Every structure is written in C-alpha cells, then in structure tokens.
Amino acid sequence: MNILVYFIPIALFLGGMGLLAFLWSLKSGQYEDMDGAAWRAIDDDDDRPPV
C-alpha cells in the first residue's frame, strides 16, 4: 500500500495539470468563437495566424 504515497500525488498532479490547461485555454479566449473555430479548422489557406 506504500505505493499510494506516490500514486495519489501523481494522480492529483495530472488532474491539476488538466484543470490548469482548461483555465488557461479559457483565459486565452479559445472559447470565444466556437462556430468560427469549427470553420477555420477546415480552411484551405495556410493556418498560421496573420502577422
């Protein structure tokens, strides 16, 4: 059972990373235009954002 000492922190850390990634994506405005993002994904042009 001593293995739990490692596994639980690892599980929580990975979960926390997922949470942070979501909060970051929310903050950086990735959910602001869901319809537009769906279209941009299949746009044939080069996919780099304009400079």
Partner 1 sequence: MTVCCAPGTEGAVELDRLRHALPSTEELILSSRTIQPGLRQTDLGVPGVYCGACISTIEKALHAFAEVERARVNLSTKRVSIVWKEQVDGRVTDPVDLVRTIVNATGYDAHLFTMADDAGDKLQRDLIRAVAVSGFAATNIMLLSVSVWSGADASTRDLFHWISAMIAAPALVYAGRFFYQSAWNAIRHGRTNMDVPIALAITLSYVVSLWETMHHGDHAWFDATVTLLFFLLIGRTLDHVMRDRARAAISGLARLSPRGAMVMLEDGGREYRPVEDIRPGDRLMIAAGERIPVDGEVESGRSDLDLSIVNGESAPVGVGPGGAVQGGTLNLTGSMVVRATAAARDSFLAEVILLMEAAEGGRARYRRIADRAAQLYSPAVHLLALIAFFSWGIFGGDWKQAMLVAVAVLIITCPCALGLAVPVVQVVAAGRLFRNGVMVKDGSAMERLAEIDTVLFDKTGTLTLGRPRLINAQEVKPAYFEIAGGLAVHSRHPLSQALHGSVPGAVTMFSGVSELPGQGLEARTEEGVYRLGNRVFACGSAAETGTASEVVLSLDEKELACFRFEDAIRPDAQNAVAALSDAEFATGILSGDRAPVVEALARRLDVALWRAELSPRDKVDAVEELGRNRNRVLMVGDGINDAPALAAAHVSIAPATAADVGRQAADFVFMHDSLNAVPLAIEVSKRAGRLIRQNFALAIGYNVFAVPIALAGYATPLIAAVAMSTSSIIVVANALRLNSMARTEIGLAPMGQAHTVPAEAKLA
Binding interface with partner 1 (CB under 8 A): 1, 4, 8, 11-12, 15-16, 18-19, 22-23, 26, 31-36, 38-40, 42-43, 45, 50
CB of 6 vs partner 1, minimal distance in Å: 14
Question: What is the rounded distance in angstroms from the CA atom of residue 21 to the CA atom of residue 15?
Answer: 10
Contacting residues for 25 by C-beta, under 8 A, at least 6 apart = 31
CB of 7 vs partner 1, minimal distance in Å: 11
Contacting residues for 47 by C-beta, under 8 A, at least 6 apart = 40
CB of 33 vs partner 1, minimal distance in Å: 4
